[in-house]
Amino acid sequence: MIEHDISKGAQNLLAACGGLTEGDRLLVLHESPDLGYYDHAIVDAVRDCAEQLGLVASFLEVPFNQKVSDPDADLIAQMKAADRTLFLARLGDQIRFRESMDGIRPIVSYALDKSMLASSFGQADYQGFVKLKGVVNSALAQARNVRVTCPLGTDFGGPNADYPPTASDVTVTRFPMSVFTPVPAGNFSGKVAQRGFLVGTGSQYYEPYGCRIKDTLMIHFDGHQLTAIEGSPQDVTAAEQHFDLVAGMFNIDRNFVHSWHAGIHPGCDYVQPASASFERWSGGAFGNPRLLHFHTCGAYAPGEISLNVLDPTITIDGVDIWEKGRLYPERLTGGEEIFREFPLIRKVFENPAQNCGLGPDGQLSYD
């Protein structure tokens, strides 16, 4: 086990992830802790670490808005004047796919509170997980066959991840690095089992943000198209109405299935049930390898409705790389080399976090 140390997490964030050194300018944009999303202890830890590193740091509290557009010109100017901008605010997640972030070099933290930053999620070598992401991306791109299943009945597959030649999944650096590049859905087809709820993606915030699913719902897709929703009449009606509502709210393609990816960071230990705050869960738990999610409802990343799969098995060319929610990097070409170079990462995989926001029944739950 790794001793909790928030200062080591902050060092990993600013130096290993941000690449910041003495004299560099850091702008920290943070939410009010009263909003209950980010813990102010992270702001304090970043402030202390920035001072120790000799950074020129400034801190600005920014509001949270459900509907967000590009930042105003003054804020963009402040970001461009900094060497790195760190978002301890949902604003960073909301604008992470926007072209306005080009050239700004922002970082968004998915370590949301003191315990997450101080744990192995925050401490484990950032660059090692960047390498792991590359290894997973390469395996998916070169695969002849990829199949994904789960205990509830998810079963979809396709030949490989058809990544665009110059693809970049976001214009914002994620910390910790906790997912591989989203796999375009175009090469894949099958069904995705849903239990508990449908929920938003953190792109826009709307009411209701979550839709209750009482039994197991099967959502079928073929390439980028959602083709059918099967389950109890009550669940099917609820899901259909939710897709209609969200698509109508933003005037987007209701049936578009954009992409999918899974967590790669077993240090991601999300202890609250998702039902305590669907918004916070959707922004903080997805890095755990026990979770895989789709970006749907909207022909863009990340869409506005996510489909969430618990304990996926991801089989690449006959090898279970994820096995019932546990990722085995050593089964990938280059994975064992990462373990040798970054022994702390090996320890994290030997003791993977099991908490990922489940309800009392051990499943994703609306209540």
Query: Burial code of 43-80, b = ≥16 C-beta within 10 A, e = fewer?
Result: bebbbebbeebebebeeeebebeeebeebeeebbebbe
pLDDT of residue 202: 86
35-to-66, 90, 357 alpha-carbon distances in Å: 13, 11, 19
The domain limits of the chain are: 6-123, 126-350
pLDDT of residue 167: 54
pLDDT of residue 203: 84
What's the CA dihedral at 220, 195, 303, 17 to 10 degrees? -120
Residue entry with tokens 């089989």: 315
What are residue 157's DSSP bridge partners? 147, 189
pLDDT of residue 170: 59
Read out DSSP for 28-54? EEE--GGGSSS-HHHHHHHHHHHHHHT
pLDDT of residue 172: 80
Task: Determine the 3-state secondary structure of 9 from DSSP.
Answer: helix
| 288, 300 Cβ separation under 8 angstroms | no
Q: What is the pLDDT along the chain (367 residues), one digit of tens a residue?
A: 566 899 999 999 999 999 999 999 999 999 999 999 999 999 999 999 999 999 999 999 999 988 767 788 899 999 999 999 999 999 987 876 666 677 788 999 999 999 999 999 999 999 999 999 999 999 999 999 999 999 999 999 999 999 987 655 556 899 999 999 999 999 999 999 999 999 999 888 999 999 999 999 999 999 999 999 999 999 999 999 999 999 999 999 999 999 999 999 999 999 999 999 999 999 999 999 999 999 999 999 899 999 999 999 999 999 999 999 999 999 999 999 999 999 999 999 999 999 999 999 999 999 9
pLDDT of residue 67: 75
Token duo for residue 175:
């910390």
What are residue 107's DSSP bridge partners? 86, 173
pLDDT of residue 70: 75
Closest by CA to 29, choosing from 97, 106, 101, is 106
Amino acid letter, 197: F
pLDDT of residue 80: 92
| 308, 274 Cβ separation under 8 angstroms | no
Token duo for residue 40:
């102010």
Classify domain 6-123 at the CATH class level. alpha beta
